[in-house]
Amino acid sequence: MSFLRVRDLTVTFTRPGQAPVRAVDGVTFDVGSGQSVGIVGESGSGKSVTSLAVMRLLPARNVQVTGSIELGDQDLLALSARQMRDVRGRDVAMIFQDPMTSLNPVLTVGRQLVEVIVRHDGRSVAEARRDAQALLERVGIPDPARRLREYPHQLSGGMRQRVMIAIAVACRPRLLIADEPTTALDVTIQAQILDLLRDLVEESGSALVMITHDLGVVAGLCERVHVMYSGRIVESAPATGLFARPAHPYTDGLLRSIPRIDDEERGMLHTIRGSVRDVVAWEHGCAFQPRCDHAVESCLGGPPPVHDLTGAPGHRVRCPRPVHPATPATGTGRSEGSA
Amino acid sequence: MSTPEQVAATRPTGGDEAIGSPRPTRGLRSDALRRLRRNPMAVVGFTLILIFVGVAVFAPWIAPYSPKDNSWLSEVRPGAYPGPSAEHWLGIDPLGRDVFSRLVYGARQSLLIGVVSLAVGATVGVGIGLLAGAFGGWVDTVVMRLVDIMLSVPGLLFAIAIAAMLGQSLTSVMIAIAVVNIPIFARLLRGEMLGQRAADYVLAARSLGISRAGIVFRHVLPNSFTPVIVQGTLTLALAIVEAAGLAFLGLSGSDPSAPEWGRMLTDAQVALTSAPQLALYPGLAIVLAALGFTLLGESLREALDPKLRR
């Protein structure tokens, strides 16, 4: 059985006097033990809200979370706030996008590491300090003993993200959620951080959910990919299958928008027309329809069903007219799940 | 899979490691101190405060006479008050006392009132602000409406009312000034904490399962305290002026001979036409002491402001 099972997760933001906004709409996916899963989508697609919902870090007021989130044998949505605090950092930890603001500026790096280790491992501060030094060394920070005594502002962006990673893996969580961990870093550092993440995950056997808008990151890191659009998963596939044969017109458009160094024609870059705001409510049809080149009238006749692609095990797409020629099997009516 | 050594060894070429700070470990506070030392405004302010505190502490050694000694009453004629002389550097007041000695002892009184009322006002105010900022929700709403009510009453009027209620004494002056300052500190800390609660590092700390108390006391509070320190310094200046004001109005104590800058102003009133300098001395003392704390407070604000930091 999978380690993380998310079923029909729906997150609705309600504000008095305003129409509710459904940021995540019936999302279902699994993450197996030690598996790396990517969630890809553009800004506003609901990928970050999904991760915050799994961590139960969304504000309690004006936010409705329904569906179920199971981690191991625990139903996260049923846990008390206190029980959930025990889960966070111990069973599942998160790495955030901006290392410049995600560390407390008035505490030394060492104290922030020690705080987590003492909190979950129940060790003495002296033991925790030794662990902290080993952790900094493990994430590739030179002279860790000195760095422990330094404040975040004395570290570069890449270093800080290494510290954030060290803090996240300090208590050996079985699931790591990385929310765009490389977006705020420059390209050379990005590669280093991704290498580090891959090594750490392989070494510890923990599962990884990589949230990103960068398909390149997913290609190098993940076994399975879910593509989100406007709050729903529109395509799920093994990473190799997704890149070899994107089925959803949106995925296809994304992949074709990536400039290739071996491109024959030096023309304009491919774009997806329109913007994320040109959305059809999912109840009325496919949200991507206004931007889709393959759209037909029937795309607006109710919510599009999810199909298994024939000849591609575990490849599911929420589109009646997938880009690649393989004929879709008859819709199962179920929402998308994992392989 | 690579060992830590390999990881460290294969990647020191990126800009990442190269930009690390070459300077010795240093905290934010010492950074601010360094900036403070370079600011002439801060140096002037600090010097003024040093003189003020020095005079207050060593008053018995500095003042040549007792501040209450009126043995020179015989030298005073209505409309003619002995001016500066070798024996009496600043002359004699209408009640036959040495002005310089009274001025020196007055510093004591001002410092005492300032420090005690600040300590009480800031402690209570910070406590209330912490309560509202830590819990939010209905606690915040209730507490802050009470604070708003306190804030809506004009400060000096409030102080006079308290002094009138508790009777004329030094204690009631200190309580009055402290109470006036409570809502200022409460609002300041609460607002800052609410802002910090939305910060990324607080979300990160929550994602690690840190307890609510841990988040409030280790993460939110230390990051919210800077403006409170600045306000504290500025409040000292205000307290000195307020203390003088209350003393001038005769609310500061039952002993009319007690050396107090505000009371010296009152005493000088009768002689304002013939000896205006008698009002000038305590007035100048009040201004300089308040200026010292204001200058230091303003430069502290600059030194600690993260927006000016680079």
Q: Report the residue of chain B nearest A58, measured CA to CA.
A: B203
Report the b/e string of A284-299 with b at 16+ CB within 10 A: ebbbbbbbbebbeeeb
What pLDDT, in 10s, does the model give residues A109-139?
Answer: 999 999 999 999 888 999 999 999 999 999 9
Question: In which band, very low, low, confident or very high, does the pLDDT at B27 lie, cut at 50, 70 and 90?
Answer: low
Smallest Cβ–Cβ distance between A105 and the set B2, B204, B223 belongs to B223
Residue A305 included in any domain: yes
Strand partners, A233: A228
Smallest Cβ–Cβ distance between B7 and the set A87, A98, A199 belongs to A199
Q: Are residues A173 and A253 in the same domain?
A: no
Residue A53 included in any domain: yes
What pLDDT, in 10s, does the model give residues A12-49?
Answer: 999 888 888 899 999 999 999 999 999 999 888 899 99
Q: Are residues A178 and A262 in the same domain?
A: no
Contact B219 A104 (CB under 8 A): yes
CA distance A60 to chain B (A): 12
SS (H, E, C) chain A: CCCEEEEEEEEEEEECCEEEEEEEEEEEEEECCCCEEEEECCCCCCHHHHHHHHHCCCCCCCEEEEEEEEECCEEHHHCCHHHHHHHECCCEEEECCCCCCCCCCCCCHHHHHHHHHHHHHCCCHHHHHHHHHHHHHHCCCCCHHHHHCCCHHHCCHHHHHHHHHHHHHCCCCCEEEEECCCCCCCHHHHHHHHHHHHHHHHHHCCEEEEEECCHHHHHHHCCEEEEEECCEEEEEEEHHHHHHCCCCHHHHHHHHHCCCCCCCCCCCCCCCCCCCCCCCCHHHCCCCHHHCCCCCHHHHCCCCCCEEECCCCCCEECCCCCCCCCCECCCCCCCCCCC
Residue B263 included in any domain: yes
Question: In which band, very low, low, confident or very high, does the pLDDT at B45 lie, cut at 50, 70 and 90?
Answer: very high
**Chain B contact for A71, CB < 8 A?**
no
Question: The domain spanning residue A156 has which CATH number?
Answer: 3.40.50.300
Interface residue of A106, A111, A115 to substitute, partner B, most B CBs within 10 Å: A106
Residue B109 included in any domain: yes
Residue B15 included in any domain: no
Domain count, chain A: 2
Q: Are residues A201 and A293 in the same domain?
A: no
Interface residue of B208, B212, B307 to substitute, partner A, most A CBs within 10 Å: B208
Smallest Cβ–Cβ distance between B4 and the set A106, A137, A159 belongs to A137
Given a cut of 60, is residue A325 above it in pLDDT?
A: no
Q: Between A204 and B82, where is the model more confident?
A: A204
Computed over every residue of chain B, the mean pLDDT equals: 84
Structure tokens at A137: 């060394």
HSE at residue B38, side-chain half, CA atoms within 13 A, is 8
**How high is the pLDDT of residue A334?**
42
What is the domain range of residue B130?
30-65+83-304
Contact A90 B207 (CB under 8 A): no
CA distance A333 to chain B (A): 35
Given a cut of 70, is residue A89 above it in pLDDT?
A: yes
Choose one of A222, A243, A276: the last residue of a domain. Answer: A222
Given a cut of 50, is residue A7 above it in pLDDT?
A: yes
CA distance A140 to chain B (A): 4
Residue A20 included in any domain: yes
Residue A339 included in any domain: no
Structure tokens at B81: 């008050």
Smallest Cβ–Cβ distance between A101 and the set B16, B20, B200 belongs to B200
Those residues of chain B whose CB sits closer than 8 Å to some CB in chain A are 1-2, 4, 7-8, 11-12, 14-17, 19-21, 23, 25-28, 199-201, 203-211, 214, 218-219, 222-223, 306
Residue A307 included in any domain: yes
**How high is the pLDDT of residue A270?**
82
Question: The domain spanning residue B212 has which CATH number?
Answer: 1.10.3720.10
What is the domain range of residue A205?
4-222
Percent of chain B with pLDDT over 90: 41
Instruction: Tell me the residues of chain A between 112 and 141 that have a Cβ less than 8 Å away from chain B.
Output: 115-116, 119-120, 137-141
Residue A150 CA to residue A147 CA, distance in Å, equals: 5
What pLDDT, in 10s, does the model give residues A254-291?
Answer: 888 888 777 666 677 788 888 777 778 888 888 898 88
CA quadruple A167, A172, A177, A183: dihedral sign: positive
Question: In which band, very low, low, confident or very high, does the pLDDT at B19 lie, cut at 50, 70 and 90?
Answer: very low
Residue A245 included in any domain: yes
Contact B16 A156 (CB under 8 A): yes
Mean pLDDT of the region A194-211: 93
| CA angle, B117 then B121 then B126, to 5° | 150
**How high is the pLDDT of residue B7?**
40
Question: In which band, very low, low, confident or very high, does the pLDDT at A206 lie, cut at 50, 70 and 90?
Answer: very high
Interface residue of A49, A104, A138 to substitute, partner B, most B CBs within 10 Å: A104
What pLDDT, in 10s, does the model give residues B249-271?
Answer: 888 776 778 888 988 888 888 88
Given a cut of 70, is residue B200 above it in pLDDT?
A: yes
Choose one of A162, A187, A222: the last residue of a domain. Answer: A222
Q: Between A324 and A190, where is the model more confident?
A: A190
Question: In which band, very low, low, confident or very high, does the pLDDT at B25 lie, cut at 50, 70 and 90?
Answer: very low
Residue B47 included in any domain: yes
**How high is the pLDDT of residue B164?**
79
CA gyration radius, chain B: 26
Contact B16 A101 (CB under 8 A): no
Instruction: Tell me the residues of chain A between 151 and 190 that have a Cβ less than 8 Å away from chain B.
Output: 151, 153-159, 164, 167-168, 186, 188-189
Given a cut of 80, is residue B78 above it in pLDDT?
A: no
Residue A37 included in any domain: yes
| Size of the A and B interface in Cβ pairs below 8 Å | 128
Please identify which residue in the block is written with the tokens 């020690």: A114
Q: Are residues A188 and A301 in the same domain?
A: no
Residue B13 included in any domain: no
- Say which residues have a Cβ less than 8 Å from residue A212's Cβ, sequence separation at least 6: A38, A39, A40, A180, A182, A183, A218
Question: In which band, very low, low, confident or very high, does the pLDDT at B308 lie, cut at 50, 70 and 90?
Answer: low
Q: Is the ipTM of this complex over 0.90?
A: no
Task: Tell me which of A63-77, A133-147, B105-119, B162-176 is least confident.
Answer: B162-176
Q: Are residues A58 and A108 in the same domain?
A: yes
**Chain B contact for A83, CB < 8 A?**
no
Residue B77 included in any domain: no
Instruction: Tell me the residues of chain A between 19 and 58 that have a Cβ less than 8 Å away from chain B.
Output: 55, 57
Mean pLDDT of the region A318-329: 68
Smallest Cβ–Cβ distance between A158 and the set B7, B16, B199 belongs to B16
Given a cut of 70, is residue A235 above it in pLDDT?
A: yes
Q: Are residues A187 and A235 in the same domain?
A: no
* β-strand pairing of A36-40 with A63-71: unpaired
**How high is the pLDDT of residue A146?**
93
Residue B50 included in any domain: yes
Question: In which band, very low, low, confident or very high, does the pLDDT at A311 lie, cut at 50, 70 and 90?
Answer: confident
Q: Report the residue of chain B nearest A166, measured CA to CA.
A: B208
Given a cut of 90, is residue B273 above it in pLDDT?
A: no
Q: Report the residue of chain B nearest A140, measured CA to CA.
A: B8
From first CA to last CA, the distance across chain A in angstroms is 12
CB B129 within 8 A of CB B308: no
- Pick from B99, B103, B94: which is nearest to B73 by CA? B94
Q: Are residues A202 and A240 in the same domain?
A: no
Residue B293 included in any domain: yes
Residue A323 included in any domain: no
CA distance A326 to chain B (A): 38
Percent of chain A with pLDDT over 70: 94
Given a cut of 70, is residue B302 above it in pLDDT?
A: yes
CA distance A267 to chain B (A): 33
Question: In which band, very low, low, confident or very high, does the pLDDT at B295 lie, cut at 50, 70 and 90?
Answer: very high
CA distance A260 to chain B (A): 25
What pLDDT, in 10s, does the model give residues B136-179?
Answer: 889 999 999 999 998 888 877 877 888 778 888 888 888 888 98
Contact B206 A88 (CB under 8 A): yes
**How high is the pLDDT of residue A266?**
66
**How high is the pLDDT of residue A327?**
45
Interface residue of B31, B141, B207, B211 to substitute, partner A, most A CBs within 10 Å: B207
Contact B223 A104 (CB under 8 A): yes
Domain count, chain B: 1
Given a cut of 80, is residue B46 above it in pLDDT?
A: yes
Q: Are residues A296 and A265 in the same domain?
A: yes
CA distance B211 to chain A (A): 7
Strands, E assignment, chain B: none
